[in-house]
Amino acid sequence: MIKVLIIADSYFFGVKLTCMLESEPEIKVIHRSGLAEEALDKIELLEPDVVLLDIEMKGVHALDILYNIMLLDPTPTIVVGRESDLGRREMLSALGYGAVDFIVMPNRLSDLEEMKEELIALVRVASSLEIKKLVIKKPKKKLSAPKISEKVLVLGASCGGVATIRTILSSFPKDFPAAVLVVQHMPAGFTKAFAETLDAVCPLKVEEAKEGSLLDKGKVLVAPGGYNLEVVQKGKHLFTQLNKKHTIVKPCIDVTLKSVSKVCGKNVIAVILTGMGDDGANGVKWVKKNGGKIIVQDESTSLIFGMPKMIIRNGDADFILPLLGIADKIVEIL
């Protein structure tokens, strides 16, 4: 039985979430609370497997609640919020505080049933996670990179990737000599806020990719949610090209890796990080075929080991490294 504790100040919202979750026989909502202090006490007393937290509670800063959960009683937490400017930023901030993932509410509460399957799937995943992997250590001091490199670095991630990508990018010096592409599974509308968040804390310039964005040394382009990102060459320069090709997720890591490896050949460094599923497993084959290098995050530091595991199983990983060793290896390959 998976025990869930819900923190939400709306009675209707809490009841609706309870009904949705308990439609799955293996899930039991053991408590609902709209008060921060009570919620923290109940987490300590009832020891839930998963906490579900409304990120936009009135009169309460939900990030403070999340901070205290991770400090006092670390518990896998999923945040729920609305697709507004505030909601997007708060949900992305929550991932940095240690939340497992977020789920976007529909505009009308009456449409909540639409997210039931996704919510139940996330709760199942969260309940099986090792809590120590929710806390990511700060990177070491900034690395020294070579002044010149023709490489293009692609970071691919899914669940758990937000904090992981930030950790890697934060390790790089401001004069990092390679172009960087980030393909993080994330809904449309969230990747722009994600890029802005990274830009605020990382030495490199980070922005959401647009149609025709120039790949430039020391610049990070984040693939926009709802689109696949490919790379095309025009003259001596590389540019992004966006499309809506049919893939299970958009942005799709496989699509980007196949494209960039065709154009850049041996100059590709593909890094596959924490995430569920097998996105990236096909793309790295193109990287390997064209002489590029492949790094995957190891199991001990991956929140979810699905994507790296598939590449290791296929025999395509050149390096299997813990999170805090990945940036060093990237710089070494440059």
CATH of the domain at 294: 3.40.50.180
* Percent with pLDDT over 70 in the chain: 96
Residues 112 and 166 occupy one common structural domain: no
pLDDT digit string, tens, across residues 104-160 = 887 776 677 778 888 898 899 888 888 777 767 667 677 887 888 899 999 999 988
Shared domain check, 173 and 124: no
Residue with tokens 């395509």: 316
Per-residue pLDDT band at 96 (split at 50, 70, 90): confident
pTM for the predicted model, two decimal places: 0.88
Domain span holding position 180: 152-333
| Same domain membership, residue 322 and residue 200 | yes
Q: For residue 298, give every residue at least 6 positions away whose Cβ sits within 8 Å of its Cβ, in sequence order, or none.
A: 308, 320, 321, 322
Residue 141 lies in a domain: no
pLDDT for 137: 67
- Are residues 162 and 127 part of one domain? no
- Residue 139: inside a domain, yes or no? no
pLDDT tens across 215-226, in order?
999 999 999 999
Averaged pLDDT, 211-234: 96
162 in the same domain as 109: no
In a domain, 140, yes or no: no
pLDDT at 45 over 90: yes
Query: Which residues participate in catalysis according to the annotation?
Result: 158, 185, 279
Residue 323: pLDDT above 80? yes
Range 37-46 average pLDDT:
92
Please tell me whether residues 33 and 100 are part of one structural domain. yes
Percent of the chain with pLDDT over 90: 63
Region 254-262: mean pLDDT is 97
* Same-domain status, 164 and 128: no
Task: Report the CATH number that the domain containing residue 103 is assigned in CATH.
Answer: 3.40.50.2300
Mean pLDDT of the chain: 90
Looking at residue 178, its pLDDT comes to: 95
Task: Find the mean pLDDT for residues 175-200.
Answer: 92
Q: What is the pLDDT of residue 109?
A: 67
Looking at the structure, tell me whether residues 186 and 213 fall in a common domain: yes
HSE (CB half, 13 Å, CA atoms) of 205? 11
Quick: pLDDT tens for 283-306: 999 999 999 999 999 999 998 999
- 89 shares its domain with 171: no
pLDDT at residue number 110: 67
